[in-house]
Amino acid sequence: MTIENVSWNKSFGGWHKQYTHHSDVLGCEMRFAIYLPPQIAQGEKVPVLYWLSGLTCTDENFMQKAGAQRIAAELGIAIVAPDTSPRGEDVPDDADGAYDFGHGAGFYVNATQAPWNRNYRMYDYVVHELPALIETHFPVNDKRAISGHSMGGHGALMIALRNPSRYTSVSAFSPIANPVNCPWGKKAFTHYLGNDPESWKAYDSAELMKHNAQPVPALVDQGDQDNFLAEQLKPEALLSAAQAVDYPLELRMHEGYDHSYHFIASFIEDHLRFHAQYLL
C-alpha cells in the first residue's frame, strides 16, 4: 500500500496534498487529494470527511473551488477527495468521448459487465481500499463521514445507506437522487450493470432509503435554478422515500442557486459543521 506525494500546499495552518498510488481494486494508477488540518501537528488523530465529486471532475475541483479548508482547519477534520473514475490508456472509455460515461464518470458502482468490470469498481475503492490506505498512512482515526456533489452526491448517499456502520453522517449537494429513473443513471447503469433495472436499485438512494433499517443522519442542499433539477436529479423521489420511513433527512431548497461550485462554496460551511456534530 505504497503512496507517492506529488504536490503539497500549506493552507490555514494545515496541508493540502496530492498522492498517487496503484489501486489493486481498479487495476490502474489513481490520484487522491487530502487536506490535513493543523491539529495533527499536536499529535491528534482526526476524523475524515470523504468527498465524492461529480461528472467530469477529478480530485482537484472540490479542493480548489469549494473553500472548505478554513472550516476543516477550525474543526479539526481531514478531507479526502478521490478521483471520479479509474483512468489510463488501458482503462476503457466511452467510444464517443461523452462526458457522462467512462473516464470521469464512474458513478461509484461496481461494474458487472465487460469490459467495464475489469476497472470500474469505484464502490469497492471508495468504501474499502481508499479508507484502508488513508488510515494506514495518515494520522486519522476511524470516524468517517461522506459527502458529494451531483454524481458524487449520488455516491455519498448510496454508500452511506449501504454501509451505515461505517459513516457517522452523510450530506450531498444536488445529488442524482433517483438514478434508475433519469437519463444519466439509465445510461451508466445499463453499461456498467446490464439491462435488468431491478439490479440497478442496489445503487439508487431513493430506492435504498425505502428499506433502510439503520439510518445515517443526512443533509441535502439543492438549488431551485439548477438546470438538471427536473430531468436528472429528482430530489422529490428522495424526499418521498424519507417521509415514508421517517428517515432523518433534511432537504433544503435554495432560491436562485444553480449546479455550480458557487452553490457548493455558499453552503459548504453548513455541511462541515453538520458532520462535526457526529465526527467530533
pLDDT averaged over consecutive 10-residue blocks of the chain (280 residues)?
96 98 98 98 96 98 98 98 97 95 98 98 98 98 98 98 98 98 98 98 97 93 98 98 96 98 98 98
Which string of b and e fits 63-96 if b means at least 16 CB within 10 Å?
beebebbebbbbbbbbbbbbbbbbbeeebbbeee
Of 154, 226, 271, 275, which residue is the catalytic one?
226
pLDDT computed for residue 246 by the predictor: 95
d(CA 29, CA 20): 7
Cβ-Cβ contacts under 8 Å for 71 (sequence gap 6 or more): 268, 269, 272, 273
Please name which of 151, 148, 132, 152 lies closest in space to residue 140, comparing C-alpha atoms. 132
Candidate list 150, 169, 171, 174, residue with the active-site label: 150
The 10 Å Cβ neighbour count of residue 115 is 11
Query: Catalytic site residue 150?
Result: yes
Q: Note the pLDDT of residue 1.
A: 80
- Collapsed DSSP state (helix, strand, coil) of residue 52: strand
Residue of 154, 259, 271, 275 marked active site: 259
Q: Give Rg (Cα) of the chain.
A: 17
Q: Where are the domains of the chain?
A: 3-279
Q: Which three cell numbers stand for residue 227?
A: 438546470
For residue 212, what pLDDT is reported? 85
Pick the CATH number of 3-279 from 3.30.70.270, 1.10.3720.10, 3.20.20.140, 3.40.50.1820: 3.40.50.1820
The pLDDT score that the predictor gives to residue 165 is: 97
pLDDT of residue 140: 98
